[in-house]
Amino acid sequence: MQLNVDDVSFSMQGKQIISDIYLQAKPGEFVGIIGPNGSGKSTLLKNIYRVNKPDCGKITLDHEDIYALSAKKTAQKMAVVSQESGGLFDFSVRELVLMGRAPHKKMMESDTIGDGHIADEALQKVGLTAYSDRSITTLSGGEKQRVMIARALAQQAKVLVLDEPTNHLDVHHQLQLMDLVKTLNITVIAALHDLNIASSYCDRIYVMKDGKIVKSGSPEEVLEEETLQEVFRVNTSIIKHPITGKTHITFLSSTLQASEDDKRKSLHI
Amino acid sequence: MNEKVSLEQPVNKKKEKNEKENSRTYNRRFKILLFALPIVLILTIILAMALGPVTIHPFIVWEIALSHTPLLGDLVNGDWTNAQYNIIWEIRFPRVLLGAIIGAGLALAGTGIQALVRNSLADPYILGVSSGASVGATLVILTGAFQIFGQYALSFAAFLGALLAIIAVFYLAQVGGRISTTRLLLSGIALSMILSAVTDFIVISAPDDDKVHSALFWMMGSLVGADWEMLPIAGIPVIATFIFLLFQSRSLNILLMGEETAATLGINIHVFQKLLIVIISLLTGVLVSVSGAIGFVGLMIPHVVRLLVGSDHRRVLWISLFLGAIFMMWADVAARLLVAPQEIPIGVVTALTGGPFFIWLLRKSSYSFGGGS
């Protein structure tokens, strides 16, 4: 399923949050959005998943304007893992994953055995099968995040929108999650914090700054020392990693670049 | 392989404890309760009618009820006195049944409003419905307004007050055509405060002590005025709301996940929220206008039910309905009996009995509703 964002702008209480956004995700493509805090990544995603309607511009799924679709129709096509924490109420993990089946249900229709299988399969994919009867309130932040992913999987949508999906996850689960998403072969749009993760998994990356897209292209094209200095205000050393062949970014913090003098001083302290 | 890793993570004590309270336990408990509570409900109805300043044998209650049942009525030979008949059929029957309806209705309204605002402190009165009704009711009691409606003047005025409060809150809570739940809560509370002040002013300016007493009594809630005509007035909205909420139970569950998530799971959130507000406040308005603002039931019953069967509304709604009805009937029995032949306002009983029980439940288990643990 193809997603197009055409000249979208959005303002909130008179303040322009994002402007003139063009973005495209082809079927099966993994598209990342990177940018510093407050650059408008989440807002753009909210425009895409229909929580905030853009002031102007058009967002289409396979050339259908999503704001012309019903909430239910959209949810059948697009699954979202947002930053909203939904793990505060006493539902079992499996019940929560089954909520992902809601867009496919009529009113009053109960969950079928088929829905159960879909939920169990989703739980297996995120490695939480053993937790299916546990109350969501007893899970850690990372486990909750994986439940939300499982719920999105159970939705069986052709587009997956992820807002910083690897937040709260340890390294192992970050990689597990990204591997999982990568193997789904559906269109993915993800706001990502971790630039190395973005580099490893994205087919294309959009860089946002101050509500605008300042650069886009393949990870190699986008992730350059100069760009990162300009957008994120950090010094980096970028290499092609010898094992993965992917662009690898090492952040050079100001203390690491400090003179030998300072180093010696700090040793004595 | 990955699964193994997550299994081997250390499980802390709290998790072990909670593991017992899993969804299977909830499901099993739900089935048991769904079977047991209707029986308890019927027993409660019979006992609540038998108990009172004049005790009447439950068997006679049963016979009088049976004599009014089509087909079965002829089987009963009436060996009761006229006085017994009048007490049971004209006074206690409507009163007990009204109690059941009000209790069930308040529990449902509480369940709905807590899902809507995702706040454990919310009760059906938080949107200012009861305060609006109180203004109307105290005006009627103290000034005798709306006399053209005869015996229903009080209920009518109360409902009118509730309706006006609902409309005000509904408009105050909107930002750009959408309901903001924070604003809904805040404007509800603000309006409640204003209207309570108005009520206080009306009561304090009343010249007649008797009227002040009955106004206060009304505000704390009472089933004294129950008659047969009230049952459909209160009963139909309760049943209608129950059916509506039951149809929407999946959406209610999803609403607890947060508004954004609900929207991405295919719920037309703005329409759904408005619908919920209108239906719940209308129901509350009807209940309050019939029985006064009986407190605590709408707050407490949904929590007790969630402790028993978890948060899934497909279970919560059924159990709330029954438990609300049963609790209210026993509270009314206590209101009639404790200082007989005087009566205590039922709101006093619900708060005095329900409160400590609720606190005990909270201390006992690791229950939390939306507030983390």
Return d(Cα A225, Cα B10) in angstroms, integer.
41
Residue B352: name the closest of B297, B302, B278, B276 by CA. B297
Classify domain B23-364 at the CATH class level: mainly alpha
In this prediction, residue B225 carries a pLDDT of: 80
Q: Does A55 touch chain B (CB under 8 A)?
A: no
Q: Give the chain B residue nearest A93 (alpha carbons).
A: B23
As a whole number, mean pLDDT of residues B232-255 equals 94
As a whole number, mean pLDDT of residues A28-51 equals 93
Helix (H, G, I), strand (E, B) or coil at B346: helix
B71: left (phi over 0), alpha (psi -120 to 50) or beta: left
As a whole number, mean pLDDT of residues B184-211 equals 88
Q: How confident is the model at residue A268 (pLDDT cuts 50, 70, 90)?
A: low
- The DSSP secondary-structure symbol of B207 reads S
Q: How are beta strands A15-25 and B174-175 bridged, if at all?
A: unpaired
Q: Give the count of alpha carbons within 13 A of B177, CB side only.
A: 1
B118 in Cβ contact with B262 (< 8 Å) = no
Of A190-199, B7-16, B103-112, B281-290, where does mean pLDDT reach its minimum?
B7-16
As a whole number, mean pLDDT of residues A39-49 equals 93
Cα B182 to Cα B38, B187, B215: the distances in Å are 37, 8, 32
Q: Does A85 touch chain B (CB under 8 A)?
A: yes
On whether residue A223 sits in a domain, the answer given is no
- The DSSP secondary-structure symbol of B345 reads -
Q: Does B268 touch chain A (CB under 8 A)?
A: yes
What CATH number is attached to the domain comprising A129? 3.40.50.300
Report domain extents, chain B.
23-364
Tell me which residue has tokens 């703005």. B270
Q: Do A135 and B310 touch (CB under 8 A)?
A: yes
Q: What is the pLDDT of residues A214-249, one digit of tens each?
A: 999 999 999 988 999 999 998 888 888 888 888 899
Average pLDDT, whole number, for chain B? 84
Q: Do A94 and B23 touch (CB under 8 A)?
A: yes
> What residues in B contact A102, CB-CB < 8 Å?
250-251, 254, 265-267
Residue B181: name the closest of B133, B115, B262 by CA. B115
B302 in Cβ contact with B110 (< 8 Å) = yes
Q: Do A86 and B258 touch (CB under 8 A)?
A: yes
For B257, the closest of A71, A72, A99 (CB atoms) is A99
Q: What is the pLDDT of residues A91-145, one digit of tens each?
A: 889 999 999 999 998 877 888 899 999 999 999 988 899 999 888 888 888 888 8
Highest averaged pLDDT of the listed ranges A30-44, A244-258, B108-122, B194-208: A30-44
Q: What is the pLDDT of residues B78-115, one digit of tens each?
A: 677 888 888 888 888 899 999 999 999 999 999 999 99
Q: What percent of chain A has pLDDT over 70?
A: 94
Query: Any alpha helices (H) in chain A, and if so which ranges?
Result: 41-48, 71-77, 93-98, 113-125, 141-154, 171-183, 195-201, 219-222, 225-232, 260-268
Report how many domains make up chain A. Answer: 1
On whether residue A204 sits in a domain, the answer given is yes
A47 in Cβ contact with A8 (< 8 Å) = yes
On whether residue A157 sits in a domain, the answer given is yes
In this prediction, residue B111 carries a pLDDT of: 95
On whether residue A268 sits in a domain, the answer given is no
How would you class B207 by CB atoms within 10 Å of its CB: exposed for 0-12, middle for 13-18, buried for 19 or more? exposed
Q: How confident is the model at residue A261 (pLDDT cuts 50, 70, 90)?
A: low
Q: Does A86 touch chain B (CB under 8 A)?
A: yes
Concatenating the DSSP letter of every residue in A82-124 gives -S---TTS--BHHHHHHGGGGGG--TTPPPPHHHHHHHHHHHH
Helix (H, G, I), strand (E, B) or coil at A199: helix
Q: Smallest CA–CA separation between B221 and chain A, in Å?
A: 32
Residue B20 in this model has a pLDDT that exceeds 60: no
* Cα-Cα end-to-end distance for chain B: 31
Residue type, B87: I
Q: How confident is the model at residue B2 (pLDDT cuts 50, 70, 90)?
A: very low
In this prediction, residue B31 carries a pLDDT of: 93
B25 in Cβ contact with A133 (< 8 Å) = no
When comparing pLDDT for A256 and B108, which is higher?
A: B108
Contacts with B201 (C-beta within 8 Å, 6 or more apart), sequence order: none
CB atoms within 10 A of CB B361: 15
Residue A260 in this model has a pLDDT that exceeds 70: no
Q: What is the pLDDT of residues B111-157, one digit of tens each?
A: 999 999 888 778 888 888 889 988 988 888 888 777 777 777 888 88
The two tokens of residue A1 are 């399923």
Domain that holds residue A49: 3-218
Residue A62: name the closest of A30, A27, A29 by CA. A27
Q: How many residues does chain A have?
A: 269
Q: Do B23 and A127 touch (CB under 8 A)?
A: no
